[in-house]
Amino acid sequence: MGTHHTSEKGQATNRMDNGSSRTIRFLGGRTTMFVLLSILLIGIIILVFSKVAFIFYPIKVFFSTVVLPVILATIAYYLLRPLLRLLEKWKIPRIWGIFILFIALIGLITLLVFLVFPFLKTQFMNLIDEFPTYFNQMLINVDSFLRTSIFSSYYKELDIDVNTFLDERLGTIGQLFTDAIGGLASGVTSFISALTGFVLAIVTVPFILFYLLLEGEKFPKMLLKMLPPRLRDDAQEIFEDADHQISAYIQGQILVAICIGIMVSIGFRIIGMDYAWLLGVLAMFTSVVPYLGPIIAITPAVIIAIVTSPFMLVKLAIVWTIVQLVEGKFISPQIMGKSLHIHPITIIFVLLTGGSLFGVVGVVFGIPGYALLKVVFTHLFKLLRLRYNKFETDEQYHYEKPSR
């Protein structure tokens, strides 16, 4: 009797298990259910955090205050670290090497402020004053070209009178440009209202930089000691790759930007372009943004060239083509190589997304940020593949062994 009762109970249990197994299989298996429940739990956590976001406002203020000096100090650290290592190879103690680098850096900044900056400021103010004239003359030149070109019949059908247009619509272009500069000035004024925080951030950069140069290489080792021993090898590999990515990008991008600025300035001086040095500096700063930077840099140069003469536009095109070819074929491959391994389409999407989310900061730092995330997720995926192979009994379904 007891055996019969146990048998019926076992059969009922099997029927329940079979039913639940069929349900689980219908839903995609236990792994799929786990993933769905994890996504649901993450959504609930995000919802709860969005309702109590005010609790984290002090943390947000802290990070927004700290992020600027940390980023600037990190950039300076990766630029100065090779020089510091070189001084150490020359048997100079690290602390004295840091002081030597600081003195050299202060001297360079002083030289730029007192010799280079006033000259560029004068050129910049002159360009602002003359830009409306350049713009008006460019429209007149383009109108004259279209009226005598093969497109003249189509252009005349549009019945566009540039002179009337300039008199009625753009007769006050100087005032419009002045208003735009005034709007920019008002933006600067609002920025100056937060000048105290900004100055404090800049003042803290040398102190952060000093300790990064002194003990920056110890920081990853400290983090490794905080991790379980089983994770340390993988974490060290991630730290090393991330350090290589940041170092290669910052050092390479700065060197490439300087080379572009020098080449553009010399090339524009050779062809007799107005504001050659200012346009070269503009090209240097904008070249840190892939694809978009050259477009921004070439726009004012094209306007000036069109106004100057058609032949100047041809010379500008020749100089710009030579600069881009030298930079793309010789300078960037030698300095930066293929360290980032990022597809051009991916770079465009990263720039668009970073610009939409974080503005100019997102455009400038989007690429290195993506490179760091790529390092982390690449290693996580490699570990996932190893774990899958470990628990997969059939070798024909194994991933190939990950290569470094």
Please indicate whether residue 39 or residue 393 has the higher confidence score (pLDDT). 39
Cβ partners under 8 Å of residue 134, min gap 6: 303, 304, 307
pLDDT for 50-100, tens place per residue?
Answer: 777 777 777 777 777 777 788 888 888 988 998 998 998 998 998 999 999
Above 60 in pLDDT, residue 6? no
Main-chain dihedrals φ then ψ at residue 328, nearest 5 degrees: -75, -35
- The lowest-confidence range among 21-35, 132-146, 241-255 is 21-35
pLDDT of res. 30:
61
- Note whether 305 and 312 are within 8 A (CB): yes
Instruction: Read off the pLDDT of each residue in 158-181 and give the average, rounded to a whole number.
Output: 55
Q: Distance (Å, rounded) from C-alpha 107 to C-alpha 91?
A: 24
Closest CA to 217 of 65, 102, 88: 88
Closest CA to 101 of 194, 93, 357, 45: 93
Above 60 in pLDDT, residue 291? yes
pLDDT of res. 16:
46
- Note whether 276 and 247 are within 8 A (CB): no
Q: Distance (Å, rounded) from C-alpha 248 to C-alpha 90?
A: 24
DSSP 291: T
Above 60 in pLDDT, residue 181? no
Instruction: Read off the pLDDT of each residue in 251-257 and give the average, rounded to a whole number.
Output: 85
pLDDT of res. 182:
53
pLDDT for 201-249, tens place per residue?
Answer: 778 888 888 988 888 888 888 888 888 888 888 888 888 888 888 888 8
pLDDT of res. 49:
78
Above 70 in pLDDT, residue 160? no
Instruction: Give just the sign of the alpha carbon dihedral 288, 291, 297, 301.
Output: positive
Strand segments, DSSP code E, in 232-355 are none
Q: Residue 177, exposed/middle/buried by CB under 10 A (0-12, 13-18, 19+)? A: middle
- Note whether 306 and 142 are within 8 A (CB): yes
Region of residue 269 (phi > 0: left; psi between -120 and 50: alpha; otherwise: beta): alpha
Please indicate whether residue 335 or residue 23 has the higher confidence score (pLDDT). 335
Above 50 in pLDDT, residue 117? yes
pLDDT of res. 46:
83
